[in-house]
């Protein structure tokens, strides 16, 4: 099969106007539409592009219409008519309109799409799913769509959906949120047939106002699913999360949805900071049994579905939380009817995304666990669990966790307590709020105001052969600590 590269749907300006309920300027009638682009700097590469003027933190792209015209745009989508000869379609809100255009393309495409939400592990699960889907698509010389990097909000999701073409057999997107209603909107645009909710680990808890609100926000995905062929949509839910029962109840309201639940521990809370596990008498449908890890923290397990073994899986990814991520990915792909051998091969091939628990050689023969991309309470505990399984001496270098609101002190202290109970040898923290972690850890805990001080201390004191976890919120910039401690290969 030779796959057409052209994006699907939205090939005329008439369609654009119809989707947006907007007036079409005379000059655009009968005109073909090529790309849809939001950045004047990328226009040159595209055929017959429509420039969408968005307002960002730094710029208002309504100021760039002359630039857009010079770079080849055939029209602009704007919120107010701009004094420029470029033909303009005017709408009330270009960011919303951008989403609606992407939704129209997604509807025209019509094939299976998996959407992943949750506090932690969205990008990891997306990577695992994509590793499986590309193998499946290759059998048909087709492709599979996945969002680049972390593009998961009301801008990133439309960016991703607008790439859809008939070459894509299926796809996976991650949906992120920092307020209620956000997932409802992006789900309405993506219309996934399969939804995955990974967990609630406390990311953005300050902005949401509580763990329950986060769980509710993630649950919004369950109300926006589309049928999968002639069958019901599928919700993949984490049985080990404190909010499993809430999501299960949400999945049972409204349209009929099939649930595939997964469990690493089959009922024992995993990576959960708050809340309670409701008792459930039936085992999870997808399970990881006979779990074992090597000295690097790479897990292997028996994958079972409805009590039947599908085979043994050896992950390249580190940490028990990646077993949960692998189960979530496997469930979503099995829901699409993908063969279990392909599922296992895909899971085994997936490698870590930079900054998410990659292993880096450090000074003094140390092994650095680079988890510097981000942190929240549950993710921090999951990473400490991994550290605890690695060779001693075990060090944790931790930057403050942001966006935790009123509970910041307690949540930081819980991490210190947890690390001490796990037998971590030394913990050094930096940044506002992280002092509570060092204090709760007790003897062997040190706090530095500046990251540079922590870096200097670690360079001077790191014992030989240590296992070193480096982790903190994005704002903590802990990748600099990794850079300061690593040895070049
Ligand atoms: P973000 O919303 O910040 O983009 P994300 O949901 O996409 O995050 P990932 O990028 O996959 O998540 O992982 C970020 C960090 O979260 C990892 O480095 C790891 O420490 C932690 N993490 C990943 N999966 C899990 C999980 N299932 N349980 C707990 N922590 C996890
Ligand atoms: N933009 C553009 N040309 C430029 C600079 C910005 O088209 O030379 C666009 C950019 O792609 C975005 C909008 O203007 O859609 C707002 O830019 P800003 O950098 O403020 O956006 P942010 O990324 O901060 O949301
Ligand atoms: Mg992400």
Expressed in angstroms and rounded, the spacing between residue 88 Cα and the centre of ligand 3 is 35
**SS percent in the chain: helix, strand, coil, step 5:** 40, 20, 40
Are 34 and 46 spatial neighbours (Cβ–Cβ below 8 Å)? yes
Distance between CA atoms of residues 294 and 357, nearest Å:
15
How far apart, in Å, are the Cα atoms of 15 and each of 10, 18, 24, 109, 183? 6, 5, 10, 15, 26
Looking at the CA of 178, which ligand is closest? 1
**Rounded to the nearest whole angstrom, what is the distance from the C-alpha of residue 391 to the centroid of ligand 3?**
29
**DSSP SS3 for 479:** helix
154 three-state secondary structure: coil
Q: How far apart are the first and last CA of the chain?
A: 43
Greatest alpha-carbon span in the chain: 75
The closest ligand to the CA of 148 turns out to be: 3
Give yes or no for residue 231 having a pLDDT over 60: yes
Residue 484, phi then psi, degrees to nearest 5: -75, -25
Kindly report the backbone phi and psi dihedral angles of residue 82, in degrees, each rounded to the nearest multiple of 5, phi listed first.
Answer: -110, 145
pLDDT of 143 higher than 60: yes
Residues 348, 283, 198, 378: is their CA dihedral positive or negative? negative
* Over residues 395-400, mean pLDDT: 98
Tell the residue nearest (CA) to atom 9 of ligand 1: 121
- State the average pLDDT for the chain: 93
* Residues at CB less than 6 angstroms from ligand 1: 120-124, 150, 174, 176, 198-199, 201, 271, 321, 324-325, 356-357, 371, 373-374, 378-379, 382-383
Q: Which tokens hold the place of 430?
A: 């930096």
CA of 70 from ligand 3 middle (Å) equals 35
**Cβ neighbours for 386, distance < 8 A, ≥ 6 positions apart:** 297, 318, 319, 320, 321, 357, 369, 469
Prediction pTM value: 0.90
Residue of minimum CA distance from atom 23 in ligand 2? 56
Indicate if ligand 2 lies below 6 Å from the C-beta of 58.
Answer: yes
Helices (H), 33-93: 65-70
* The pLDDT value given to residue 448: 97
- Is pLDDT at 127 greater than 70 in this prediction? yes
Pocket test for ligand 2, best of 39, 49, 59, 63 (most atoms within 8 A of CB): 59
- Taking only Cα atoms into account, the Rg of the chain, rounded to an integer number of angstroms, comes to 24
In the reported structure, the alpha carbon of residue 91 is separated from the centroid of ligand 3 by a whole-number distance in angstroms of 30
Q: What is the pLDDT of residue 280?
A: 53
pLDDT band, very low/low/confident/very high, at 348 (cuts 50, 70, 90): very high
Ligand 2 site, residue 292, Cβ cutoff 6 A: no
Pairing type for strands 308-318 and 298-305 reads antiparallel
Q: What's the rounded mean pLDDT across residues 237-254?
A: 96
Tell me how far the alpha carbon of residue 203 lies from the centroid of ligand 1, in angstroms: 10
pLDDT digits (tens, 9 = 90+) for 432-459: 999 999 999 999 899 999 999 999 999 9
Ligand closest to the CA atom of residue 38: 2
CB atoms within 10 A of CB 59: 12
Number of Cβ atoms within 10 Å of the Cβ of 227: 13
Could you identify the atom of ligand 1 that is nearest to the CA of residue 380? 20
Give the closest residue (by CA) to ligand 1 atom 20: 379
% of the chain at pLDDT higher than 70: 96
**Which residue blocks in 177-285 are alpha helix, DSSP H?**
182-190, 205-208, 211-219, 244-251
> 59: Cβ below 6 Å to ligand 2?
yes
Best of 36, 38, 61, 73 for a ligand 2 pocket test (most atoms within 8 Å of beta carbon): 61
Tell the residue number behind the tokens 């880096």, with chain if given. Answer: 360
Region of 53 (left: φ > 0; alpha: ψ -120 to 50; beta: rest) is beta
Place of tokens 């998410």: 356
Query: Could you tell me the two tokens for 363?
Result: 């000074």
**pLDDT-derived band of residue 270, with 50, 70 and 90 as boundaries?**
very low
Instruction: Please say whether the beta carbons of 236 and 332 come within 8 A.
Output: yes
How large is the average pLDDT for residues 128-139?
A: 98
Residue 376 alpha carbon, nearest atom of ligand 1: 16
Average pLDDT value for residue range 320-339: 97
d(CA 427, CA 400): 13
Query: 313 CA to middle of ligand 3, Å?
Result: 24
Token readout for 99 is 């989403």
- Is it the case that residue 278 has pLDDT exceeding 70? no
> Distance (Å, rounded) from C-alpha 363 to C-alpha 368?
9
- Residue 49 · residue 34 · CB < 8 Å: yes
Mean pLDDT within 167-189: 96
């Amino acid at each position: 099969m030779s796959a057409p590269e052209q994006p699907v749907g939205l090939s005329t300006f008439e369609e654009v106007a119809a989707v947006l309920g907007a007036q079409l300027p005379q000059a655009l009638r009968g005109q073909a539409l090529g790309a849809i682009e939001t950045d004047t700097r990328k226009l040159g590469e595209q055929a017959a592009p429509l420039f969408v003027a968005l307002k960002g933190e730094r710029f208002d792209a309504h100021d760039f219409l002359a630039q857009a015209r010079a770079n080849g745009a055939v029209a602009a989508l704007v919120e107010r008519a701009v004094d420029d000869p470029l033909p303009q379609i005017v709408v009330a809100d270009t960011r919303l309109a951008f989403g609606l255009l992407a939704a129209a393309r997604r509807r025209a495409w019509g094939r299976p799409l998996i959407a992943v939400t949750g506090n932690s592990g969205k990008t990891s699960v997306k990577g695992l799913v994509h590793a499986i889907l590309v193998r499946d698509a290759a059998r048909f010389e087709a492709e599979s769509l996945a969002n680049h990097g972390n593009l998961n909000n009301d801008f990133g999701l439309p960016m991703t959906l607008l790439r859809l073409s008939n070459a894509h057999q299926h796809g996976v997107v991650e949906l992120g949120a920092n307020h209620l209603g956000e997932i409802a909107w992006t789900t309405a645009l993506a219309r996934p047939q399969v939804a995955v909710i990974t967990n609630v680990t406390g990311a953005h808890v300050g902005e949401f106002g509580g763990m329950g609100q986060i769980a509710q926000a993630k649950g919004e995905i369950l109300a926006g699913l589309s049928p999968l062929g002639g069958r019901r949509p599928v919700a993949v839910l984490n049985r080990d999360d404190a909010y499993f029962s809430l999501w299960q109840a949400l999945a049972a309201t409204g349209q009929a949805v099939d649930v595939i639940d997964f469990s690493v521990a089959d009922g024992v809370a995993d990576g959960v900071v708050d809340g309670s596990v409701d008792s459930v008498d039936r085992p999870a449908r997808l399970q990881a049994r006979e779990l074992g890890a090597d000295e690097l923290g790479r897990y292997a397990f028996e994958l079972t579905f409805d009590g039947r073994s599908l085979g043994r899986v050896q992950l390249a990814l580190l940490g028990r939380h990646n077993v949960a991520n692998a189960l979530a990915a496997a469930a979503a792909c099995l829901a699409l009817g993908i063969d279990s051998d392909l599922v296992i091969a895909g899971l085994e091939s997936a490698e870590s995304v930079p900054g998410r628990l990659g292993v880096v050689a450090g000074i003094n023969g140390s092994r650095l666990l680079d988890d510097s991309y981000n942190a929240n309470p549950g993710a921090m505990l999951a990473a400490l669990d991994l550290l605890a399984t690695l060779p001693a001496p075990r060090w944790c270098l931790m930057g403050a966790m942001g966006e935790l609101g009123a509970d910041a002190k307690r949540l930081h202290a819980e991490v210190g307590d947890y690390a001490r109970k796990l037998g971590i040898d030394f913990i050094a923290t930096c940044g506002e709020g992280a002092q509570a972690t060092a204090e709760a850890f007790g003897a062997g805990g040190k706090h530095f105001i500046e990251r540079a001080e922590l870096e200097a201390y670690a360079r001077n004191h790191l014992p030989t052969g240590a296992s070193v976890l480096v982790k903190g919120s994005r704002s903590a910039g802990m990748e600099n600590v990794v850079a300061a401690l690593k040895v070049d290969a």
